[in-house]
Amino acid sequence: MNRHAKRWPLPKHDYWSTPFAESLLQHLDLRPGLRILDVASGHGIPAFYLAEQVGPTGEVLAIDISAGQVARARAIQGSQLPWLRFDCTDMRALPHLPTFDRVTGNLSVMFFRPNRFEAVRGLVERLNPGGQLVLTFPSLGTFDSLWQRVDQAMIQQGLSNERARFQDYLNERPSAQEGRGWLGALDLERVEAIEYPLEVETGPGHEFLHHPLLRGGFLDDVYECFEDQSLADRFMIEISEDIAQFTSLIAQRCVLSGWKRTSA
């Protein structure tokens, strides 16, 4: 194991998945020989690292609903780490899977909607007694300075329908406290819900509107509040020219961790 310890590090150039994965690993009890289910695995952060750590006596099954992400991860893997398998599977429907010693999900909880508690319950059902569940997600409070600016602009411009949809989005975001409640309701023990702030830097205009950590996720949630996309474009351009009103942007990396009891 030691001579291969640096072959699959978390990639430093990934400024979103890697910081969340680092926070996940702070709480994950990891050792050789474990069987791990990694959900919403994307292109392999941290599945490759997990597989290296459990070694050939262990097993990692990494699942994602995106066939493209799974294909990308398999291409990166090639013939290496044969005890790691990437499958295209919906993490909200797992009754066919065996049970595991650990269940992990980096940046996973935001994909569990609309029935997040039921999704987490399904993951706990795949956990062996004495096993650990560790999930990360951007929790309530992430980019609040930006959302306050968006809400203010919608009020000023009389965008009542768009604001109603935007408020629905804001109210749907899970908090660390809510996550802790899920694990408690599922009778896990040693439950933790801890947040680590992460500052995201951006410039104005095009840099903000096409920021790799903001577009394709958070900013798209604002665009989806508009039926008229040309109006959405004008609205967001105006926001992008006023970043001094809402930077610094702070994401809250929340880690949920809990252990399944060994006996009822």
Each residue's pLDDT tens digit, 138-167? 999 999 999 999 999 999 999 999 999 999
Other C-beta atoms closer than 10 Å to the C-beta of 6 total 8
Q: What is the largest CA-CA distance in the chain?
A: 62
The rounded Cα 141 to chain-centroid distance in angstroms is: 15
* Residue 180 pLDDT > 90: yes
* DSSP label of 247: P
Tell me the per-residue pLDDT of 19-45, one tens digit each, with 9 for 90 and over: 999 999 999 999 999 999 999 999 999
The token duo for 6 is 């640096």
Domain with CATH 3.40.50.150 in the chain: 2-139+174-199+252-259
The 3-state DSSP class for residue 12 equals coil
DSSP lists the bridge partners of residue 230 as none
Q: Compute the mean pLDDT over every residue in the chain, rounded to the nearest whole number.
A: 92
Architecture of domain 2-139+174-199+252-259: 3-Layer(aba) Sandwich (3.40)
Range list of β-strands (E), 68-171: 84-88, 100-105, 127-138
Number of H helices, E strands in the chain: 10, 7
Residue 1, helix vs strand vs coil: coil
DSSP 182: H
Bridge pairing between strands 189-200 and 100-105: unpaired
Q: Each residue of 235-254: pLDDT tens digit?
A: 999 999 999 999 999 999 99
Q: Is the pLDDT of residue 6 over 80?
A: no
